[in-house]
Amino acid sequence: MRKMTRLTAFAAVAAAMFCAPAAIAQAAEIRVLNWQGYGTDEAFAVDAFAKKTGNTVVHDYFTSEQEMLTKLRTNPGAYDVVLVNSAFVKQARDEGLIGKIDTSDMPNVKDLSPNLANDPNLVVGGDTYGVAWSWGATSLTVNKDKVSPIPTSLAILWDPKYVGKVSIRDDGIEAIQFAALATGQDINEPKDLDAIKAKLKALMPQVKAFWGSENDWNQFFSAGDFYVSTYWSGAAGRSVAKGLPLKFIVPSDGAVGWLDSLAIPTASKNQAAARAFINYMIDPEFYVQWAAKGAPMSANAKAAAALPDASFNKTTFGDPAVVARVHFVKPLSEETRKQYLELWQELKTGQ
């Protein structure tokens, strides 16, 4: 493994040297639209990229996917790189907001995990509209001081032993996705909604409270309000680092995954610099530094392999068999979202 790390580091340096002369020629200011505090705006990254390519990076932020789309629609030409969740790439592409990306001058793209890089949400008709950047999963988490043995199936959520000691996120879509996994169905197109409803109805008496944010989760967990829960992988890594006795599990039934990509708006005037920035964003050198501060999983297989062996991301997702159990979410129609919310509200009210 050590040898591997040195090898990737070497590859990273080589890639950086390869990149640098090409980009310095046309120093530009590129504008990035992303969630605040989500990797691209790390000070070390902005500095390193400026040093490498001479391009400066300016950020603007959105607080919801809808806001991101609205900003792209109303400010054409204002952004050069935008973070688009894979579930929204199709919509942004159909509206002509983001264009196809020529990855031939992006050496790091070949190191992306093929299943992520070629995700059907990102690649349409052989053209890449979003470069797979980072991903994570929402999955089962238990308090390892209170639950033993460590479960391998979602069935623990329904275990009567933990009645009143269970928490799930207050999100109908996610609840339905987990019930779909527990009933052996496709998370994106479940066939048997009645079975899901029955399964969730049986789950409600188990639930003590619904969590909404990472902060909620940490508070409830520390207070012993629940022992068995769903949780985000990135947040789980941070909570482990804080010393909470939790174990994040990708159970045999599977987990719900999300994939974020970096895209280039059609109206961007700095396409080459934008590609250089995206290439740097999937560079193992960047990722290892970012991961030290708490990052989701990288879509770059070499970057993931370059992590220290003891790191949360590597111990959780290091095994490809585990990654294969993660089911990525696809976009939902407005109608389905409404239908799911209604179902969820009925379930929560106990009707």
Partner 1 sequence: MTFATRTDAARAGGMLTPAYVWLTAAIFLPLSAMLFFSLLSAAPFASHDWRFTTANYTAFFTHSLYPYLLARSLGLSAIVTALCVLIGYPCAYALARQIRGRSREALFLLIILPFWSNSLVRIFSWAIVLRGNGLLDLALNAVLPIPVSLNLMFSFSAIVIGLVHSYLPYVILTSFLALQAIDDSLVEAARSLGAPFRTILWRILLPLSLPGLVAGAVLIFVPVAGSFMEARILGGRAGTLYGTVIEDQFVAVFNWPLGAALSFILLAVVFAILGLASPVLRRAR
Spatial CB neighbours of 179, under 8 Å, sequence gap ≥ 6: 196, 197, 199, 200, 203
Question: Which of residues 26, 36, 66, 152 is near partner 1 by CB under 8 A?
Answer: 66
Q: Contacting partner 1 (CB under 8 A), which of 94, 192, 319, 342? A: 342
Out of 70, 148, 152, 252, which residue is the one contacting partner 1 (CB under 8 A)?
Answer: 70
To the nearest whole angstrom, how small is the minimum distance from the Cβ of residue 145 to partner 1? Answer: 15
Question: Residues with Cβ < 8 Å from 1, sequence gap 6 or more?
Answer: 305, 309
Is-contact 101 271, C-beta < 8 A?
A: no
Stretch that binds partner 1, among 13-21, 83-91, 170-178, 270-278 (CB under 8 A): 170-178
Alpha helix positions (H), the chain: 2-24, 43-53, 65-74, 86-94, 114-117, 172-182, 193-203, 214-222, 233-241, 271-281, 284-292, 301-305, 312-317, 320-323, 334-349
Contact call for residue 345 and partner 1 (CB under 8 A): yes
Considering only 42, 105, 170, 214, the residue that binds partner 1 (CB under 8 A) is 170
Q: How many Å apart are CA 27 and CA 281, to the nearest integer?
A: 18
Report, in Å, the least distance between residue 240 CB and partner 1. 22
Residue 120 or 224: which CB sits closer to partner 1?
224
Is residue 223 involved in binding partner 1 (CB under 8 A)?
Answer: yes
Residue 333 binds partner 1, judged by CB under 8 A: no
Q: Does 348 bind partner 1 (CB under 8 A)?
A: yes
334 binds partner 1 (CB under 8 A): yes
What three-state secondary structure class fits 97? coil
Specify whether the CB–CB gap between 222 and 167 falls below 8 A.
no
- Count interface residues toward partner 1 (CB under 8 A): 25
The one segment of 17-25, 164-172, 260-268, 301-309 that binds partner 1 by CB under 8 A: 164-172
Q: Nearer to partner 1 by C-beta: 126 or 160?
A: 160
Phi-psi label, residue 168: left if phi above 0, alpha if psi -120 to 50, beta otherwise? beta
Q: Specify the DSSP class assigned to residue 111.
A: G
For 310, half-sphere exposure in the C-beta direction (CA atoms, 13 angstrom radius) is: 3
> From the list 225, 260, 283, 285, which residue makes contact with partner 1 (rule: CB under 8 A)?
225
Per CB under 8 A, does 337 bind partner 1?
Answer: yes
Residue 35 interacting with partner 1 (CB under 8 A): no
Residues 182-221 that bind partner 1 (CB under 8 A): 204, 207-210, 212, 219
Applying CB under 8 A, which residues contact partner 1? 66, 70, 170-172, 204, 207-210, 212, 219, 223-225, 334, 337-338, 341-342, 345-346, 348-349, 351
